[in-house]
């Protein structure tokens, strides 16, 4: 396989907050494959409807790159550093990026979420996210599938229908999904409140 055909791993790029989109465009113009996960919503203004895009991982974007030739990336305006240990970049798991790409393209509501390392794991068997596996939490408005980028210790959540979930032997999804504020799920209620505020900001105006 030639270098031109080689598909490099995904790396997380720390960018200046508020410049994630412009930095992504600059890197793409240099020939890099980039991914900037965003939440989209339509907001009604007095004279028009405007579509808003908010980064799901504020201050970060993802880029396929050769870790042994990272100077062009580091010299790109807006780039602060490549996430890693010391001076060694660490790639992001391919499956984690693929899952977030699926969620973003699904048309479902996606939002930042407190990082979850453990919890009630379920597989999506139906719907636009069929085949994905993640931690499922129950909140007042329904169920959310939490997808994480382990390297960044950050997560996003996407709304799912309980009928899409794999059936549990003890009687279905509702038999084993507990509230996101239960003691078995390591989520700070204050963080959940903040995430809900973010969600409210993205709700389409009536």
The full set of domain ranges for the chain reads 10-92, 94-202
From the list 116, 175, 170, the residue with the least C-alpha distance to 144 is 116
Q: What is the pLDDT of residue 4?
A: 43
pLDDT at 6: 64
Sequential DSSP letters for 73-103: HHTSTTEEEE-EETTEE-EEPHHHHHHHHHH
> 23-44 b/e with 16+ CB inside 10 Å = b?
bbebbeeeebebebbebebeee
The pLDDT of residue 118: 82
Residue 81's pLDDT is what?
A: 96
CA dist 56 and 41 (Å) reads 13
Digit-coded pLDDT (tens) for 138-167: 988 789 999 999 999 999 999 999 889 874
3-class DSSP assignment, residue 130? coil
Give every CB contact of residue 41 below 8 A, 6+ residues apart in sequence. Answer: 51, 52, 54, 202, 203, 204
Consecutive 10-residue runs of the chain (206 residues): their mean pLDDT?
Answer: 65 96 97 93 74 91 96 97 94 96 92 89 92 91 92 95 70 40 37 37 34
**Alpha-helical regions (H) of the chain:** 20-29, 71-74, 94-105, 189-202
For the entire predicted model, the pTM comes to: 0.75
3-state secondary structure of 151: helix
The fourth-level CATH superfamily of domain 10-92 is: NusG, N-terminal domain (3.30.70.940)
Chain centre to alpha carbon of residue 193: 19
Query: Can you give the pLDDT at residue 11?
Result: 98
Burial of 199 (0-12, 13-18, 19+ CB in 10 A): buried
User: Residue 60, class by beta-carbon neighbours within 10 Å (0-12 exposed, 13-18 middle, 19+ buried)?
Assistant: buried
3-state secondary structure of 157: strand
């Amino acid at each position: 396989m030639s270098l031109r055909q080689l598909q490099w791993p995904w790396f997380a790029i720390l960018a200046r907050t508020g410049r994630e989109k412009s930095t992504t465009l600059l890197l793409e113009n240099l020939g890099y494959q980039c991914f900037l996960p965003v939440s989209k919503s339509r907001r009604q203004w007095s004279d028009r409807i405007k579509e808003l895009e908010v980064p799901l991982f504020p201050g970060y974007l993802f880029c396929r790159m050769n870790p042994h030739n990272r100077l062009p990336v580091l010299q790109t305006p807006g780039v602060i550093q490549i996430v890693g240990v010391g001076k060694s970049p660490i790639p992001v798991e391919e499956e984690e990026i693929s899952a977030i790409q699926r969620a973003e393209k699904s048309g479902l509501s996606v939002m930042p979420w407190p990082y979850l390392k453990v919890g009630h794991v379920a597989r999506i068997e139906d719907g636009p996210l069929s085949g994905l596996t993640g931690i499922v939490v129950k909140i007042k408005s329904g169920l959310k599938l939490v997808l994480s980028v382990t390297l960044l210790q950050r997560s996003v959540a996407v709304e799912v229908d309980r009928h899409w979930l794999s059936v549990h032997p003890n009687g279905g999804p509702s038999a084993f999904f507990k509230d996101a504020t239960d003691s078995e799920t390591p989520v700070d209620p204050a963080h959940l409140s903040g995430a809900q505020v973010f969600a409210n900001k993205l709700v389409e105006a009536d």
